[in-house]
Structure 1
Amino acid sequence: MNNRTDPRNDQSNTNTKKNRYNDEPPSSDNDKANSNVYHDQISNVVFHGRMPRRKTIPPPISSNMQLINSPAPSPRRLRSSNGSDDEYVEVNNNKKKKRIQKQTGHLHPDQTYPILDFNLNNNCNTTTAPHSSVPTHKVTSPAQPVHHLADPLHHHQERPQITRESTRYAQTRYPFPPFVIRFNSSNVTTKQVSEDLIEHVKLKYQKTIQLANCRTSNIARVNNEHDLLIYIKDSDSFCFLLDQSTWPTKLCNLVYTFPTSPSIQPQLSLIIKNVDLRIDLEDFIDDIKASYSHVKNVIRMKNKFQNNIKLVKIELTSPSLKEQLLNSKKIIVNHITYDIDEYLAPATVLICSRCMAIAHFKSQCKQINETCKTCGEQCVDLKLHNCSQVKKCIHCQQNHKSNALKCPVVKSYRAELTKKILDINSRSLPKPMPKNNIFKYNYTYDASNFPPLPHAQSNFNSNNPMMIKLGDLIEKMTEVKEHLATLAINNEKFEQLIQHKNQHDDLTKQQIDSLLNNDNAIKKRFSSTQFTNRKT
């Protein structure tokens, strides 16, 4: 049998031992001399007994279970060397801050962990301060990595607002892609090309096309080739020039070619809803094009996982056909009626080319220096700027350019701008303006130009005490009127009751009179009968 004692409290352990084993006979000095006494320095435990030393196993106590110089977290809270700790540690829940640190921070190279120092001579455990260059006022957990947040130089904390400039930019800045024409000679002027094209269409087709701009391409070509970009202002002109047969054979007395064909913009696209996924798309396309000759492309839409969905996009080359289908809100394909709706594309975001901020032009920018769109640094002249080529967005601090459309800030702003444009377009257009002339004059209804009228103001001040008293008086007069109306109704009912009672009284009086008459008649008969009997 093993008896364990702790030298840190010999007297207490001796008393406990006597009380626990008082039923055993006292041991003599010879027994103590013969007993084996072993003191384990690691576990700090003294063993009394006849067990051999090689068979002793130290018990699992806190001192020999502690991990020394290990990065693994301990299952128990470490003792603090601070005397004022009082065995309580203040814990702050900063989950959001930790998420931000995981996204923007980096792992600190000098991770340190507390070193445990065991003083066996004093029979107590003490924890020394971690040997690190980290300041003492910042305490880090051994199991948590240390992150550093880079202080952004040009971080826009304010949320960009939807301005009038950004709305107009999204609605009017080249809504249609340009027509690209290629010449084999550079001796071509944009003005002459525009004039020749307008004159040809006007003379041959008696139609006036609206050109928004005509400029040369910035892309260098080989073999003395020269590209011109022609931007169209309205949808009628765009649809007319989509047919390459309407173009002249020569411009500026030079032969040209079309290297590419412009894509059809969302202004001329519609969405067909609830198209079955099992339907034959080729037959569907053939039937649509046979019924509507101005349908150029039919595209099955896909979701973000590139799976087909029940929406089909059709691209038109006629604004009148689009208006006709939108007004009917139906389309018949293969003897099946489908719902149809307008195709809506994300709006174009206005980004300043000087400071890379959102919702204003460069001419309106208040920043003096220029901002590099790649690294986000400011400099006086971008031509003299030595860029580090490390992509860093000034809006979200992520590794992409500041004017990239994949930026989360730009995406959220574009979503809000699209909602505003949809809200403007959902309102009805003015009736005096015919629908066919909307595209002709490039008219766009903007609700900001027609603000709603202010609400009618009251002639009196609601905080005036006299007005308050008058209001109370009017309320009381209304209550009195209601009470009088109730009394009038009750009075009318009472009068009807009195009339009914009078009629009942008259009837009762008539019955009483008839009874009295009958009684008098009976009395007369009785008296005449008695008189006759006396005579006889």
Structure 2
Amino acid sequence: MSTSKVNRCYLLYCNTSVQFEYLLDKNKWPDKLCDCDYTFDLPRKIPSSYSVVMSNVPTQWDVQSFCDELKLQYKTIIKSERLYVRGGRPIPKIRIDFSSNKELSEILKNKHMLLDDCPTCYPIESYVPPPKVLRCYICQQYDDHVAAYCPNKDKPICFKCGQQHQYNPECQNEICCVHYKGDHMTGNPNCPKKIEIRDLKKLQTNPSSSKISYLSNRNIWTGNSVLHLFGDSATKPTLTKNNPNENVHSLKLLDTIHLNIQSILEQQAELNKHLSDLTLQQNDQAKEIINVNQILNDIVCP
């Protein structure tokens, strides 16, 4: 925010999400402050908790025009931007920033966004920012310390050539990464060393991913009914002769069967719902084709 008379700029900080949403609404700001005209600029970056990722947006589309159409349906959209992968290649996903956490929560609950009032919808998911990889600008080490606490201040490494000399932004030596010894500068997003550290941080921030993938693989049908219904406990030999816990073991197996049957029924119901939705979509498309044929036969080519 800046004023015109004294030409001063003010940077405002928020303590809560309520304050943040209130200040983002330009309609709630007065026309003047202390009889001074002022300008109000939105922050360049919105917290990731106010963002979603929309899929299936063709890379040929103009994101700004598409966002303007979405604003007709969702009033609290601030901006949107195309997402890219390594090498700067665009992908059919865009990030959309909102100013209202309430509307954002409803959208995430529905798991899709509509374009105007037409039946075209786009799947959405929460935006998860990529993990940041810190780099010391003195010794060029990754994720160990920052320049203010560098233990090698007397041995600086050039980020351009990877050699040991004082900082020189106009270094004329051959470009070489100090980590990978490749023909790129240290800190390049496509550096294999930086990619390796970023992938490692992803695993550290989500340590249960390997466990989840293991459990999801356990649900894949393998043709073994006993293993699928009872689990590993059914494959282990048990002594039933003179076993006082035989009834307890049988009850546990029955509970396991009951839980697995419920899970199968839920999956079947979800599959039936999905098939019903596909059938409705096919019927709608068939009606549109019939209408187009009628228009072609009656008007265009009578």
Give TM-score scaled by structure 1 length.
Answer: 0.31
Greater Rg over alpha carbons, structure:
1
Give TM-score scaled by structure 2 length.
Answer: 0.50
